[in-house]
C-alpha cells in the first residue's frame, strides 16, 4: 500500500479521545506551558466566536469541523485569513 505522508489518519467515531485527569496533565506537562495560555487563547478566541455564529446557521458539527480545519492550517503556518478562505473553498452547499 502506498504511504501518503499528507494523509490525515481517520479516527472512527466510536474512538472518542478521553479527557485526561488532572494528575495525568500534571505528570505530562507540569506548569512549563503556562506562558502559552494567553497567546493561544487570544489567537483562537475570534475563531471560537466565528464557530458559534456559524453553528447558528449550519450545525455544531459543521462549525466545529470548519474551525478545527482552520486551526489546523494555522498551526501548519498558513495565515489565519488564508486558512479560512481555503476551508471555505472546500464547502459545497454548506457541506464538506
The reply to whether 19 falls in a domain is no
All three cell numbers of 4, joined, read: 501518503
Residue 79 lies in a domain: yes
Structural domain boundaries enclosing 88: 59-96
Residue 53: inside a domain, yes or no? Answer: no
DSSP string, 64-81: HHHHHHHHHHHHTT--HH
CB 12 within 8 A of CB 31: no
pLDDT tens digits for range 65-86: 999 999 999 999 999 999 999 9
On whether residue 70 sits in a domain, the answer given is: yes
pTM check: above 0.75:
no
2-53 pLDDT tens trace: 555 556 565 556 678 888 898 888 888 888 888 999 999 999 999 999 999 9
Q: Give domain status of residue 37, yes or no.
A: no
In a domain, 18, yes or no: no
Is residue 38 one of the residues assigned to a domain?
no
Question: Is 67 a member of any domain?
Answer: yes
- Total number of domains constituting the chain: 1
Q: What residues form DSSP beta bridges with 95?
A: 92
Amino acid at each position: 500500500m502506498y504511504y501518503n505522508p499528507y494523509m490525515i489518519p481517520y479516527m472512527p467515531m466510536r474512538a472518542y479521545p478521553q479527557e485526561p485527569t488532572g494528575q495525568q496533565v500534571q505528570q505530562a506537562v507540569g506548569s512549563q506551558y503556562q506562558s502559552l495560555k494567553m497567546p493561544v487563547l487570544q489567537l483562537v478566541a475570534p475563531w471560537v466566536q466565528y464557530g458559534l455564529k456559524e453553528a447558528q446557521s449550519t450545525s455544531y458539527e459543521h462549525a466545529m469541523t470548519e474551525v478545527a480545519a482552520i486551526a489546523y492550517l494555522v498551526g501548519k503556518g498558513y495565515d489565519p485569513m488564508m486558512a479560512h478562505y481555503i476551508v471555505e473553498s472546500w464547502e459545497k452547499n454548506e457541506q464538506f
